[in-house]
Every structure is written in structure tokens, then in C-alpha cells.
Amino acid sequence: MRYASRQSNPPESVSPAAESLGGTICQHMTTTKTTSHYALGSTDAEQERLIRQAALLAPFTERFFRGAGIGTGQRVLDIGSGVGDVAMLAATLVGPSGEVVGVERDERSIDRARTRVALAGLHNVTFTQSDVSQIAS
């Protein structure tokens, strides 16, 4: 993220899928209310803010992922998936032959992520509820 925050312009090598993802993400928001352990909460307004933020950062996130070697056919684990923005972007990079598994502790966020993934027509993303801080070391 430090690298992305230094960039003043979006990267040139952004796929059309990532560019269109911002609109897809914002179009498929749901509206139920709750709070979670997330420091800023998980109200509708906060989740919508995070969705808009993810759409704004999508070109940088995609560039970071491509630089890390994420590509077609790979499997990606997204820990702390929230409402699914990073998982959805990763799904476009790994394509239908790849797989993305998102892990999130907040059930409401998972429900919203699953709805958004279905509405976006992505079939290579799944979400599971778990609190990774509870995994024994």
C-alpha cells in the first residue's frame, strides 16, 4: 500500500474489468444496519464509504497484485474480506480457471459480499465466516 499511496496517477495497465468494477461495486450495494468489531463500524454508510474507497483504489490494487504475480489460474486467499472488494478484483485477475476464497468474521459483511459477487456474475469467489485471530499458533 505504501507504493500505491505514492502514485499520483492511475497505472496505465489497468484492465477494462477493473475499470468497470468500480461501477459494478457501487451498483450492487445492499442496505441493512448493524455494527461489527471493525473500528469504524459496519453501518450501511461505512460499508458504502469503503466500497467507494475500494473503487477509487482499484487501479492501484490491481497494479500491486499484478506486480506480485497474481494471474490467471491462481488461487487467492483474502483475509478480512469485508464486503468483497479485493476478492472481486482478484477474481477478475485469476479468471474463471482461478479461485478466490474470502475470510471475514462479520456475517453481515459476508452476506453483502456474496450478494455483490452474485450480481457481478463472478463464479470463482466464495466467502467463509471465521475470525482468524482465533486460530491457534
- Residue 19 belongs to a domain: yes
- Rounded CA separation 43/31 (Å): 9
- Residue 9 belongs to a domain: no
Q: Chain-wide mean pLDDT for the chain?
A: 79
Measured in Å, how far apart are the chain's first and last C-alpha atoms? 26
- Residue 93 belongs to a domain: yes
- Residue 10 belongs to a domain: no
What is the total count of domains within the chain?
Answer: 1
Expressed as residue numbers, the domain containing 86 is 15-132
- Residue 54 belongs to a domain: yes
Tell if the pTM clears 0.75, that is, is over it.
no
Q: Which residue has the higher pLDDT, 84 or 33?
A: 84
Residue 66 has pLDDT above 50, yes or no: yes
- Residue 90 belongs to a domain: yes
| pLDDT of amino acid 40 | 61
Q: What is the band of 44 on the pLDDT scale with cuts at 50, 70, 90?
A: confident
* CATH number of the domain to which 52 belongs: 3.40.50.150
Q: What is the pLDDT of residues 73-131, one digit of tens each?
A: 999 999 999 999 999 999 999 999 999 999 999 999 999 999 999 999 999 999 999 99
- Residue 5 belongs to a domain: no
Provide DSSP, the chain: -HHHHH-SS--TT--HHHHHHHHHHHHT--------SSTT---HHHHHHHHHHHHHHHHHHHHHHHHTT--TT-EEEEES-TTSHHHHHHHHHH-TTSEEEEEES-HHHHHHHHHHHHHHT--SEEEEE--GGGS--
- Residue 108 belongs to a domain: yes
